[in-house]
């Protein structure tokens, strides 16, 4: 078993983003973060992203709304950032308070500023194999595979989870790389049997150590996107590592690459570029 660490890859992506940010003439790229409410984990994630921005030569701007904010107020705040020429990328921290229509809020982000890849436009671009911003965690997963010499073409990939920001786009990106993809979810029958067939397993469930180590096919590549309290992933790491050929640690696997992609895409947005290279065959 070898570890598929994300820290070195994230460093590389951030160094390159910093170099491209410095090479710009005029103002620095700017990422706007938007947070509704004060969920402690979300506050921490936003702070981490702002700190990374500062270290990478990217300005950040923060818009904080109370937990009582309405969908209309959140949409208005995002629309304003969308119209602001000094803002290149917009990140709405997920999840939003339950009474808010999250989809309406995401869709208020103009496609050219959707550096977190959460809009229908970005999803369609991923699905059609067209240029556009990728969803950061799924994009990070593909970059991790690339960096470790894993070619998904012809491989059986099983994605556990079908959320619009993680499981579904991860499946689209793996399909674009010519994997044969099965998407599992809470209504999947015989989940363990699906996982046992997989050459590549992507766990995106949000339940600590939910994927048992003995489900992993010997030699499989395991990507654990889960992040649960206590720094625990969605995969039973100690058991799975004994069977996997490559496995991501939690923390230090998918997480750092996700943030690095967010910043890379912010610089790309400032330079008026999308990021087409992740999607290859795109049929
Ligand atoms: P989510 O929206 O709650 O989606 C969870 C998915 O898991 C759903 O599709 C759900 O199926 C599926 N699921 C739940 N129980 C299941 C079961 N018993 N068997 C099979 N599938 C089951 O979560 P998310 O936002 O995608 O996040 C998933 C995990 O990734 C979380 O731990 C989160 O913290 C982590 N995450 C990490 C990053 C990062 O940067 N590393 C970024 C985002 C999220 P249904 O659709 O049928 O309900």
Whole-model pTM over 0.85: yes
Gap from CA of 9 to ligand 1 centroid (Å): 24
Pair type for strands 156-160 and 221-224: unpaired
Single out the residue of 239, 208, 207, 241 nearest to residue 223, CA to CA: 241
Task: Categorize the per-residue pLDDT at 1 as very low, low, confident or very high, splitting at 50, 70 and 90.
Answer: confident
Query: Do the beta carbons of residue 141 and residue 135 sit within 8 Å?
Result: no
Encode pLDDT of 238-272 as tens digits. 999 999 999 999 999 999 999 999 999 999 999 99
Q: Which pLDDT score is estimated for 274?
A: 63
Task: Categorize the per-residue pLDDT at 280 as very low, low, confident or very high, splitting at 50, 70 and 90.
Answer: very low
275 is catalytic: no
Encode pLDDT of 52-61 as tens digits. 999 999 999 9
What is the set of domains in the chain, with CATH numbers?
28-110 (3.40.50.10860), 136-255 (3.40.50.720)
Q: At what angle do helices 254-270 and 7-23 cross, to 10 degrees?
A: 10
> What is the average pLDDT across 204-233?
97
Encode pLDDT of 87-116 as tens digits. 999 999 999 999 999 999 999 999 999 999
> What is the average pLDDT across 222-239?
96
Catalytic residue, from 93, 155, 265, 275: name it: 93
> What is the average pLDDT across 32-56?
96
Catalytic residue, from 59, 88, 116, 224: name it: 116
49 is catalytic: yes
Nearest protein Cα to ligand 1, atom 1: 163
């Amino acid at each position: 078993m070898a570890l598929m660490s994300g820290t070195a890859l994230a460093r590389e992506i951030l160094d390159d983003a910093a170099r491209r940010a410095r090479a710009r003439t005029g103002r620095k790229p700017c990422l706007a973060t938007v947070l509704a409410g004060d969920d402690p984990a979300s506050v921490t994630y936003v702070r981490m992203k702002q700190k990374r921005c500062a270290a990478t030569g990217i300005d950040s701007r923060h818009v904080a709304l109370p937990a009582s904010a309405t969908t209309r107020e959140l949409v208005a705040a995002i629309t304003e950032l969308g119209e602001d020429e000094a803002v290149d990328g917009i990140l709405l921290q997920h999840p939003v308070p339950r009474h808010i229509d999250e989809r309406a809020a995401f869709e208020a982000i103009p496609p050219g500023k959707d550096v977190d890849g959460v809009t229908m436009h970005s999803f369609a671009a991923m699905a059609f194999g067209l240029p556009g911003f990728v969803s950061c965690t799924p994009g990070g997963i593909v970059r991790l595979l690339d960096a470790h010499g894993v070619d998904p073409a012809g491989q059986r990939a099983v994605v556990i989870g079908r959320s619009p920001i993680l499981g579904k786009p991860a499946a689209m990106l793996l399909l674009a790389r010519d994997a044969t993809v099965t998407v599992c979810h809470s209504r999947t029958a015989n989940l363990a049997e699906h996982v046992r067939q997989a050459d590549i397993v992507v766990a995106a469930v949000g339940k600590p150590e939910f994927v048992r180590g003995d489900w992993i096919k010997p030699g499989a590549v395991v990507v654990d996107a889960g992040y649960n309290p206590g720094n625990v992933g969605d995969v039973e790491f100690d058991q799975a590592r004994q069977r996997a050929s490559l496995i991501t640690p939690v923390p230090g696997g998918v997480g750092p690459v996700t943030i690095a992609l967010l910043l890379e895409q912010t610089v790309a947005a400032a330079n008026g570029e999308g990021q087409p290279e992740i999607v290859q065959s795109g049929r």
